[in-house]
Amino acid sequence: MDIVLDTCCVAALTRGTQNSRDDLVTKLVHRKGLRVVVDRGTALIDEWKKTVSPEIVQALVVKWSDDGGLVQVRKDCKMPKDLARELQRLSFTDTCDKLIVRIAIGTTDRTIVSNDSDFWDPKDSTRQGDATAPVAVALDKHENIRIMTLNQLKQNSSL
């Protein structure tokens, strides 16, 4: 499965982890063939480095790359105008979040893993992980993009 990881997830993965092999995504990359997709210009990796220590992010990038689990999106995609308008109306306005959506559009599996409540409902953080929340519904309706939390990824992967 190909996924796009947001910065909140990368921060959560690295919290309290001394060994880069201990986190959920690294285990899934190594054992189950999960692939983390980033943009061609590495803007997403740069965002991860702003949120988490650059050294820790670099260690993850190297480990995932060595295991074949870090790939660049095949083509840079634009967000369709109707989706962009709907997301704007829903207060989904963060530039990095929109980059994550554009990367997901360019993948086969169209899956975003995020612990950021904006991917469900920017106005109601209690909706995190709720597939019926407005942003999750809009992404699914317009582009068949599925959003899940790290915990949902873990449950779906049976680790």
Instruction: Kindly list the domain boundaries of the chain, sorted by start residue.
Output: 2-157
Please report, for residues 4, 102, 136, the alpha-carbon distance to residue 37 in angstroms, rounded to integers and kept in the order given.
5, 11, 19
Query: How confident is the prediction along the chain (159 residues), in pLDDT tens digits per residue?
Result: 999 999 999 998 888 654 445 688 989 998 888 999 999 989 999 999 999 989 999 999 999 999 999 999 988 799 999 999 999 999 999 999 999 999 999 999 999 999 999 999 999 999 999 999 999 999 999 999 999 999 999 888 864
CATH number of 2-157, picked from 2.60.120, 1.10.3470, 3.30.300, 3.40.50: 3.40.50
User: Is the overall model pTM greater than 0.85, yes or no?
Assistant: yes
